[in-house]
Amino acid sequence: MSRRAFASPADREELRKKRLRLAVIAVIGAAVIFTALWYTLENPFSQTFGTTVTQVPLQQKVVALTFDDGPNPPYTDRIVEYLHSQHVVATFFVVGMAVAAHPDIVRKEVAYDDALGNHTWDHAHLVLERSAHIEREIAQTDAIIFRTTGVHSRIFRPPFGARDFAVLKVAHRMGYTVVMWSVPLPGDWKHPAPALISRRVLKYVSDGSIIVLHDGNRGRGGNRESTVAATQLIVTALKHDGYRFVTVPELLAMGYGKGKRQPLGEPYE
């Protein structure tokens, strides 16, 4: 007969409470570990694994508007045409397979003086991947960008913002500056009201900010009606406040130009 059979009701209740306390401690511990992992892997401001750019130190009202996950017709087309009509430039971090599927949109972006960034071939999560796989994701995307536009991009944004030592080491070795963002993601991919997306962005904009919106869904299409409308609200509000829009390479050149310390990657002339 086990010792448990002789336990009094009070002892059994105490044992139950002890197990409950241990379970609560385990849950809290897991939450702490998860939060720490998120901070180091996906938080744009973390520099744990190496140098990235989140915001450029400037004392003038300029911002860089960026879009991830495209091109994605018809939404990317509408964004590009609207920005061009407002004499506003942006930076599109494109997914290689989407470039292959919709090359004319990317050519238009370049023709309209927008900048291109590398966002991998298929929006792969690169954390814990082998260096050879990371390099292939980046190189394959660069190749299709160059074949399509004649342009080699030298800015890279890892999907989900997720990076570890290998991701940054490979990107830097390949000559890329890794560009994150300073304005918290507004969740535009979840289709909130355009006004809500706009408010979430405008609340955090300051000199040298980098803003992220999503014109696609991991290179696989998706409805981006809310993002199109929010883009118009954001541009209108920031222009009214005296902000000027520049591409990410232009922003980097302003902050890290000649004689200034610059992040890893190609020089900005």
- Which residue in the list 119, 142, 214, 215 is annotated as catalytic? 214
Sort 122 into a burial class: Cβ within 10 Å, 0-12 / 13-18 / 19+: middle
> Residue 133 catalytic?
no
Contact 117, 212 (CB under 8 A): no
**Active site includes 214?**
yes
d(CA 72, CA 129) in angstroms, rounded, equals 27
Residue 98 corresponds to which tokens in the numbers above?
A: 């989407």
DSSP character string of 67-95: EES---TTHHHHHHHHHHHTT---EEEE-
The secondary structure of residue 53, as a DSSP letter, is B
Instruction: Out of 68, 69, 114, 142, pick the active-site residue.
Output: 68
Taking the C-alpha atoms of residue 182 and residue 160, their distance in angstroms, rounded to an integer, is 14
Residue at token pair 């955090």: 204
Any idea which residues carry the catalytic annotation? 68, 214
